[in-house]
């Protein structure tokens, strides 16, 4: 192949590449333009103005080409100045507002929520369902639909069906499933007054997410589920039977006023123990039992046992663990008068949570333990009941 042929091939190849690149750029500009018709019109006018000098002055010398093009170039510049200015400005603002990057498509429920607030739940349901047709995996929409059905339309089976369909779908997440089951438990209690159905929903969390914070939280709810009688009574006014008061109390010598009856501490402790037999993971009751053992029965050993079970409980938050360690230090100071033991307890906080905000109060408290001990007060000793040997040492199950 001779050199002239090579030059021709190279010229044609370059021309094709330039044309292809120009077409690609033109397509990109058209696809991003808000007014593609106006853009095409500007291209046609610009091409015409660029070729106009050759039509008017076909034999103009090359040295005069720039002079002939001054007027068309000025017109083209004036036509494209707004577009060029907008492009340059977008280079600056694009780094701050994202530029022309399209937003991800998402569902909008503001109109449906407004309809719901204005007392039109049926219309709200229709609007939510319309959005869910476009975004069937949107958990926020499914929860909104279920809440309208359960709370506004009193259609708890419909709400449960909506949530069950989402939980069986590909978009389900552990957090979403736990939220859905927790909401179902709440609606069974509030709307249907059905503690048994609520119990099944919470137990399902424990079965599907064992040994997790989810199951631990569900266990706390299970330990304090109200009974049907309690739910029924919650909506009724409480009647208090008042006994006739004593006459002429103000005339009695040395009368100091009414005396509140002393609580039955034995019965209270036994109630706590029975609750823990049934729900060993009930942290609130175990904490109350520990305080009762220490402050009223002066059995610091039993209180320490209960608190150590709480501290060792899996899936507990650091904040709760530190709270129980501080409570243990309180009891060691006020009940046991054990300064060394309280110091060791506070050092456990510092060792287990070093360089954290949780350790800072423990460091500060170490310096004030002597003052705490001097100001502490021990309540009168109470005798424990017969259940101490068996139930007082009941262990929590992890």
| DSSP letters for 107-164 | ---HHHHHHHHTT-HHHHHHHHHHHHHH-TT-HHHHHHHHHIIIIIS--HHHHHHHHH
CA 391/CA 107 separation, integer angstroms: 55
pLDDT band at 391 (very low <50, low <70, confident <90, very high): very low
Q: What is the pLDDT of residue 370?
A: 85
Neighbour tally for 350: CB within 10 Å = 16
Q: What is the pLDDT of residue 102?
A: 57
CA 201/CA 199 separation, integer angstroms: 5
Residue extents of the structural domains in the chain: 110-234, 265-391
Fold of 110-234: 1.25.40
Percent of the chain surpassing pLDDT 90: 51
Lowest average pLDDT, out of 103-112, 317-326, 354-363, goes to 103-112
- The pLDDT of residue 294 is above 50: yes
- The answer to whether 110-234 and 265-391 have equal CATH topology is yes
Residue 282 backbone phi and psi in degrees, to 5: -75, 95
pLDDT band at 23 (very low <50, low <70, confident <90, very high): low
Q: What is the pLDDT of residue 105?
A: 76
Fold of 265-391: 1.25.40
- Average pLDDT rounded to a whole number, residues 117-133: 95
pLDDT band at 369 (very low <50, low <70, confident <90, very high): confident
Q: Which residues of 62-91 are buried (b: 16+ CB within 10 A; e: fewer)?
A: eeeeeebbeebeeebeeeeeeeeeeeeeee
- The pLDDT of residue 315 is above 90: no
pLDDT tens, residue by residue, 251-286: 666 656 666 667 788 899 999 999 999 999 999 999
CA 207/CA 214 separation, integer angstroms: 10
pLDDT tens, residue by residue, 132-179: 999 998 999 999 999 999 999 999 999 999 999 999 999 999 999 999
Q: 56, exposed or middle or buried, with CB in 10 Å at 0-12, 13-18, 19+?
A: exposed
pLDDT band at 14 (very low <50, low <70, confident <90, very high): confident
- The pLDDT of residue 19 is above 90: no
Q: What is the pLDDT of residue 64?
A: 56
Helices 283-295 and 213-223 pack at an angle, to 10 degrees, of 60
CB-CB contact of 289 with 317 (8 Å):
no
- Higher pLDDT among residues 8 and 201, named by residue: 201
pLDDT tens, residue by residue, 50-93: 666 666 656 656 555 555 566 666 766 676 666 666 666 665 66
CA 44/CA 143 separation, integer angstroms: 54
- The pLDDT of residue 321 is above 50: yes
């Amino acid at each position: 192949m001779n050199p002239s042929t090579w030059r021709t091939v190279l010229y044609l190849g370059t021309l094709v590449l330039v044309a292809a690149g120009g077409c690609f750029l033109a397509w990109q500009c058209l696809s991003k333009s808000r007014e593609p018709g106006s853009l095409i019109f500007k291209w046609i006018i610009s091409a015409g103005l660029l070729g106009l000098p050759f039509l008017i002055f076909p034999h103009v010398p090359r040295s005069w080409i720039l002079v002939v093009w001054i007027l068309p170039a000025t017109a083209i510049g004036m036509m494209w100045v707004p577009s060029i200015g907008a492009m340059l400005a977008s280079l600056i603002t694009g780094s701050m507002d994202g530029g022309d990057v399209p937003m991800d498509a998402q569902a909008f429920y503001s109109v449906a929520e407004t309809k719901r607030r204005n007392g039109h739940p049926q219309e709200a349901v229709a609007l939510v369902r319309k959005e869910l047709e476009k975004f069937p995996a949107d958990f926020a929409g499914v929860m909104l639909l279920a809440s309208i059905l359960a709370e506004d339309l009193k259609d708890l089976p419909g709400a449960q069906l909506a949530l069950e369909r989402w939980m069986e779908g590909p978009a389900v997440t552990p957090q979403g499933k736990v939220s859905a089951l927790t909401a179902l438990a709440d609606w069974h209690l509030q709307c249907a007054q059905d503690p048994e159905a609520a119990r099944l929903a919470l137990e399902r969390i424990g079965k599907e997410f064992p040994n997790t914070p989810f199951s631990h939280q569900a266990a706390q709810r299970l330990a304090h589920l109200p009974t049907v009688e309690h739910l029924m009574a919650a909506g009724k006014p409480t009647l208090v039977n008042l006994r006739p008061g004593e006459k002429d109390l103000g005339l009695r010598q040395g009368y100091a006023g009414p005396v509140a009856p002393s609580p039955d501490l034995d019965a209270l402790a036994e109630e706590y123990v029975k609750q823990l037999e049934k729900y060993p993971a009930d942290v609130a009751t175990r904490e109350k039992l520990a305080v009762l053992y220490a402050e009223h029965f002066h059995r610091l050993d039993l209180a320490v046992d209960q608190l150590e079970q709480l501290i060792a409980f899996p899936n507990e938050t650091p904040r709760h663990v530190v709270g129980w360690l501080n409570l243990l230090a309180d009891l060691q100071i006020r009940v046991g008068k054990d300064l060394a033991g309280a110091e060791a307890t506070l050092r456990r906080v510092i060792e287990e949570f070093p360089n954290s905000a949780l350790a800072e109060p423990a460091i500060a408290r170490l310096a004030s333990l002597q003052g705490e001990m001097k100001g502490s007060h021990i309540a009168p000793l109470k005798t424990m009941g017969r259940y101490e040997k068996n139930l007082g040492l009941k262990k929590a199950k992890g």
